[in-house]
Structure 1
Amino acid sequence: MIRNIYLLFFLTLNTGISNPLWAHTSGRPPNRPPNILIITVDNVGYGDLSVYNKESPIITPHIEQLGLEGARLTNFYTAGATCTVSRASLMTGRIPQRHKLVDQLNGIAGNYGIGLRQSEILIPEMLKEAPTEYATGAFGKWNIGFAPGSRPTERGFDEYLGIASGNADHFSHVYAGKQDLHHNTEAINRNGEYSTDLFADAAIHFIRKNTSQAKPWFVYLPFDAPHHPGERNIGPDEENIWKAPDYAFKPYGISPDEKDPKKRFNAVVTAIDMAIGRVLNTLDSLNISENTFVFLYSDNGAFYPYLDIQSNAPLKGAGVTLWEGGIRVPALVRWPGKVKANSVIDVRLWSLDLFPACAKLSQAELPKDRFIDGKNPLPVLTQESPHSPHATLFFEYRNFAALHWGDWKIIRDEPAKAWQLYNLRDDIAETTDLAKKRIDLVEKLNGAFVQKKEEIESYLKIEDSFMSRPK
C-alpha cells in the first residue's frame, strides 16, 4: 500500500518523469546499432529489491517499472565474489583465473596501481572496432586500477567521471584521506554532491550529447552505493552511517537525522532508484528507449556485517563467498520489442555474458587472441532459446571453490574439505547437503571441476606465450 502511494510521488520528485509507463516511440535511424546501458549497483542483496522479495520495505518504483517493461532474471550470477573481481570480469568477459585479477584491490597502493592487466581487452575497446564506432562513457566506481595506462580513458572510454577506489565517502568522495573523485584522469573536488546523483547526471549529459550527434553509445554506470564507506574514509568529526540525500528520506516520512541504520540503508537504495529513473526518463525523452539495450545487476550480494540491515533472502551466505547469497544476484534487462515485457527468465547466465552481448549488439568482432568465457546471452534474453549457453559455471575465490552443473552445485570453503552438494532446483537456500547420499554426483561434478581447472592452467601457458611474442 505504501509503495503504491509513493509511486506517484517518485514520478514527480527529482526525476522530471511525467509518464511512468514510458510510452516507447522508435528513435532508431536506419542501420544504426542499439545503444547499450549497463548499470551496476554495489552489494545489493537478492532479497533487497521488491521485484525479487515482495516483503522488502525498500521503495524502488523505477526498478519495479524496469521489471514490468523487461525481464527479471532469477538465475543470474556475478562472476566475481568481490567488487574488484566482479568488475574486471564484466569488462573482460573472462573468469578471474584468466584475467588474473583474482582478489580485491585495497588501499591507495591497490586502487592506484596497475590492477587489471593492461593487456586485457575491455568492452569499450572492442566497441571502438565495431563497424559503427561507439561513443563510450563510464560514470561511477572503477576499482580495477588507476595507474597511468589503467585509467578508464586509457582503456577505451571517451569520458569518465567517478571514483578510483571501491568505497569512498558518498558526499566528500574521500578515500583513505585522498580526494578520490576524477574527471577523466584529473582529480576534482565536488564536495557535498551525492555520488549517486553525480554519476547519473554525468551519464545523462553524455547520453544527450552523443544522441544529438547521432552516435551510438555505450554507457557503463557502476554506482558505488549502497556500499558502506569504510571507517578510514569518514572525516574525523563525522559519524560512519549510511548516507543518503535529504530527498530520499521523504518517501518514508522520516527525517534525514533518522538513526535507524536499516531505515537509512533503505533511503540509500531509494536514491539509486530515483537516479535510475532519471536516466531512463532521459532515454524516453530522446525517443531512444526502443533502440537501447538496458541491463541492471548487482555486483555481489549483501555482505555479512549488514545482513541484519540488508537481505539475500532466500539465499544462503553473503558477498565474498561462493554461497548463492554471494554470487546469485538480482538482474533486470529491457530491450523493447526484443525482450518480452513483464517476463521472468530462469535460465542460468552470468555477468561474463555481457561482453559477447555487446559484441553482438554492436556487430563488433570478439577478440581472437584470447579465450572469452562469456557466451552470447541474447537468444536466452529474447526467449529464442530456453537453454543456457553454459554447461557449467566454475568459481574459485580465496579458499572457496564451486561448480554449477544443471540443477546441481558442489561447494567447499577450504581446499582440504570435502565437497558439499546441493540441488538448487529444490533447495535454492542450500540447506540440505546431499553429498553423502549422492557420491556419484559429487564425483561427476568434481571431475568437471578438475578438468576445468586443468584446462585453465594449460590455456594460460599458451596465452602467456602468445602474448609475449613481439608484434
Structure 2
Amino acid sequence: MTKLLKSFKGIALLIICANLIVIPSFGRQKNNTQAPPNILIITVDNVGYGDFSFMNEASPILTPNLNKLAKQGAILTDFYTGSPTCTASRASLLTGRIPQRNKLDYQLGGLAGNYGIGLPQTEIIIPRVLKSSPHGYATGAFGKWNIGFAPGSRPTERGFDEFLGIASGNVDHFSHVYAGRHDLYHNTTSINRHGEFSTDLFANAAIDFINKNTAEEKPWMVYLPFDAPHHPGDRNIEPGEENIWKAPDYAFKPYGLKPDEKDPKKRFNAIVTAIDMAVGRLMTSLDELGIADNTFVFFYSDNGAFYPYLDIQSNAPLNGAGVTLWEGGIRVPALVRWPGKVKANSTINTRLWSLDLLVGAADLAEAELPQDRYYDGKNPLPVLTGETTHSPHASMFFKYKGQEALIWGDYKIFRESNLEPWKLFNLSEDISESNDLAEKRPDLVKKLEQPFKLTEEEINSDLEREKSNAKLGN
C-alpha cells in the first residue's frame, strides 16, 4: 500500500509539473490561459507592387490607415501570390496548394464558369481545416469568391459559417451586377443592396460578424477579399452607361476632388482610398472590442496590376503585370500585424507566398492539417515572428498559360512559352528583371531547371494516381 501511495504521489507530481510547463510556439502560449488568436486575412484585387505608399514612397494614393498598419506590424517585400490571375490565386490561398495540384489553374470566365463547380469539391479549404481546432472557431467570408458557385461549391458549403459577397470575379461596385445577372449573395440567397459600395458592404458585414462572435467569446477567422479596385467591366453596366472607375463620393474628398472627376487615374486613387478607409474602420472595431492585440492580420494583393492600366496603376520597380509570371504579376504588396509577436515598424525580406497562410492559420488555431494531401504552403509564423530569417521554401514553382518560372535562392528562371529558352535573373541584384543572365550562366539555368522538372513530374504523377483511384472507385 505504501508503494502504491508513493506511485500515485509521483504521478500526481508529474501531472502538476506538466501543467506548470509553458510550451512556446512562435511567440504564443499553447495553453488555456490565453484566448486563441483571431485570424483576419484581407485581399485586394489587382493592386500593383508600387501602388501603395508603404511599398513605394512615390505613390500619390492616400492610404493613412494601411500606412499605420504597416508601422504597427511588418512590410513584406518578397511576398508572392500563387498565381498571376484572380481565380487561381484565390484557390491557391484557400487550399495551400499550387494551382496545378488543386486543379484550378485558370481564370473562371462568364456566368457558366463562375456559377460552375470551379475548385474541385474534394479540395479542403481554410475554414474546413479550422473546424478541427479544439477552440471552436467561427468562420466568415465577405467579398469576392470567384472559385465556383455551383451547389456544393459555395462558401457556406465549403466550411464558412457565413458569407456575404459576389460569386463572380468582377461586378459593378454599386449595382453588383455581373454580365447582366445580379451577383450578390448572403450565404446562398441572392440579395439586393443596390447603391451600396461593395467595399463598404463587405467590410461592414465582416465587422458585424466580428462583433457577434466576440460578444459570444468565440475566436473567429475572417476572409475579407475585396473586389475593388478591379478595373471596370463594360459587360457589368447598363447599356449606355459610362464605363468608368467607380468610387463613393466620400473617397474623393481627401484629394479635394468632386465625384464627377474625369481623370481615370484620380478615380482609381479614390477607390483605393475607400478601401483604406474600410480597413481603418475594421481596425478601429478591433481596438474598441479590445481584441486587436490578439488578432493576426494579414493583408495582400491577389496579383499585380494589369498591362492595360499601367498608365493608371504601378507595379514599380517590377517588370511585367498581372497574368504574367514576370515579377510584376506574382510579387505583391503585403503587410502583417500581430502585436507582441510581429515586430512593429519592421520589414521582412524573406520569401513567402500566399499558400503559406493556410498552414499558418492551422497553427494559430491548433488545428490538424489533413494528412491525405500534399501542401505547397509552409508555416510562415517562424519568419513573421522573427524566429528565423530563412524561407521555408527551397524553391517556388509557377506555371500559367504556357508560362513557366521557378525561383531558387537569389535566382529565377522564366519563359513565356515552353518552346522558348529560359531567361535567368538574379532577383537580389536585378528586381526589375532587366538583365538576362542565361547565356552567361548556363550552369545556373540547368541547376534551376532540374527542380522545375522534378516538381512538374511529381504533380503529373499525383494527378495520374488520383485518376486511377477514381476509376477504381477509391
TM-score by length of 2: 0.92
- Which position in structure 1 is the counterpart of 2:217? 214
Paired with 2:419 and 2:328, the residues of 1 have a C-alpha distance of 23
Paired with 2:457 and 2:401, the residues of 1 have a C-alpha distance of 18
Q: How big is each residue's C-alpha offset from its partner over 1:170-228, in whole Å with a ceiling of 9 and x where there is no partner? A: 00000000000000001111110000000000000000000000000000000000001
Paired with 1:47 and 1:109, the residues of 2 have a C-alpha distance of 34
Paired with 2:359 and 2:414, the residues of 1 have a C-alpha distance of 28
- Which position in structure 2 is the counterpart of 1:407? 410
Question: The residue matched to 1:366 in structure 2 has which SS?
Answer: coil
Within the candidate set 325, 335, 351, 1:322 is matched to: 325
Paired with 2:52 and 2:196, the residues of 1 have a C-alpha distance of 25
- Which position in structure 2 is the counterpart of 1:20? none
Within the candidate set 348, 358, 363, 1:355 is matched to: 358
- Which position in structure 2 is the counterpart of 1:235? 238
Are the counterparts in 2 of residues 37 and 295 from structure 1 also a CA contact under 8 Å? Answer: yes
- Which position in structure 2 is the counterpart of 1:184? 187
Paired with 1:114 and 1:149, the residues of 2 have a C-alpha distance of 8
Find out whether 1:279 has 2:272 as its counterpart. no
Paired with 1:180 and 1:154, the residues of 2 have a C-alpha distance of 18
Gaps of 5+ in 2: 1-30
Gaps of 5+ in 1: 1-27
Paired with 1:32 and 1:290, the residues of 2 have a C-alpha distance of 11
Paired with 2:122 and 2:366, the residues of 1 have a C-alpha distance of 23
How far does residue 465 in structure 1 lie from its aligned partner after superposition?
Answer: 4.5
Q: How big is each residue's C-alpha offset from its partner over 1:419-450, in whole Å with a ceiling of 9 and x where there is no partner? A: 00000000000000000000100011111111
Find out whether 1:462 has 2:465 as its counterpart. yes
Paired with 1:450 and 1:459, the residues of 2 have a C-alpha distance of 14
| Paired amino acid for 1:133 | G
- Which position in structure 2 is the counterpart of 1:307? 310
How far does residue 81 in structure 1 lie from its aligned partner after superposition?
Answer: 1.3
- Which position in structure 2 is the counterpart of 1:16? none
Indicate how the Cα distance of structure 1 residues 209 and 425 shifts in structure 2: closer, same or farther if over 3 A, else same. Answer: same
Moved more, 138-147 or 454-463: 454-463
CA RMSD of aligned residues (A): 1.2
How far does residue 414 in structure 1 lie from its aligned partner after superposition?
Answer: 1.0
Mapping 1:286-297, distance limit 5 Å: 286-297=289-300
| Paired amino acid for 2:384 | L
How far does residue 451 in structure 1 lie from its aligned partner after superposition?
Answer: 1.0
Paired with 1:402 and 1:207, the residues of 2 have a C-alpha distance of 39
Find out whether 1:45 has 2:48 as its counterpart. yes
How far does residue 462 in structure 1 lie from its aligned partner after superposition?
Answer: 3.1
- Which position in structure 2 is the counterpart of 1:95? 98
Bigger radius of gyration: 2
Indicate how the Cα distance of structure 1 residues 160 and 468 shifts in structure 2: closer, same or farther if over 3 A, else same. Answer: farther
Indicate how the Cα distance of structure 1 residues 469 and 279 shifts in structure 2: closer, same or farther if over 3 A, else same. Answer: farther
How far does residue 399 in structure 1 lie from its aligned partner after superposition?
Answer: 1.6
How far does residue 32 in structure 1 lie from its aligned partner after superposition?
Answer: 2.1
TM-score by length of 1: 0.93
Q: How big is each residue's C-alpha offset from its partner over 1:313-365, in whole Å with a ceiling of 9 and x where there is no partner? A: 00000000000000000000000000000000000000000010011000001
Within the candidate set 140, 151, 159, 1:148 is matched to: 151
Paired with 1:384 and 1:55, the residues of 2 have a C-alpha distance of 32
How far does residue 303 in structure 1 lie from its aligned partner after superposition?
Answer: 0.3
Over the matched positions of the two proteins, sequence identity in percent amounts to 70
Paired with 2:33 and 2:242, the residues of 1 have a C-alpha distance of 54
Are the counterparts in 2 of residues 370 and 463 from structure 1 also a CA contact under 8 Å? Answer: no
Indicate how the Cα distance of structure 1 residues 468 and 337 shifts in structure 2: closer, same or farther if over 3 A, else same. Answer: farther
| Paired amino acid for 1:180 | D
- Which position in structure 2 is the counterpart of 1:343? 346
Find out whether 1:112 has 2:101 as its counterpart. no
Q: How big is each residue's C-alpha offset from its partner over 1:223-249, in whole Å with a ceiling of 9 and x where there is no partner? A: 000001311001113111110000000
Are the counterparts in 2 of residues 59 and 266 from structure 1 also a CA contact under 8 Å? Answer: yes
Paired with 2:80 and 2:466, the residues of 1 have a C-alpha distance of 26
Paired with 2:466 and 2:371, the residues of 1 have a C-alpha distance of 11
Q: How big is each residue's C-alpha offset from its partner over 1:76-121, in whole Å with a ceiling of 9 and x where there is no partner? A: 0000110000000000000001100010000000000000000000
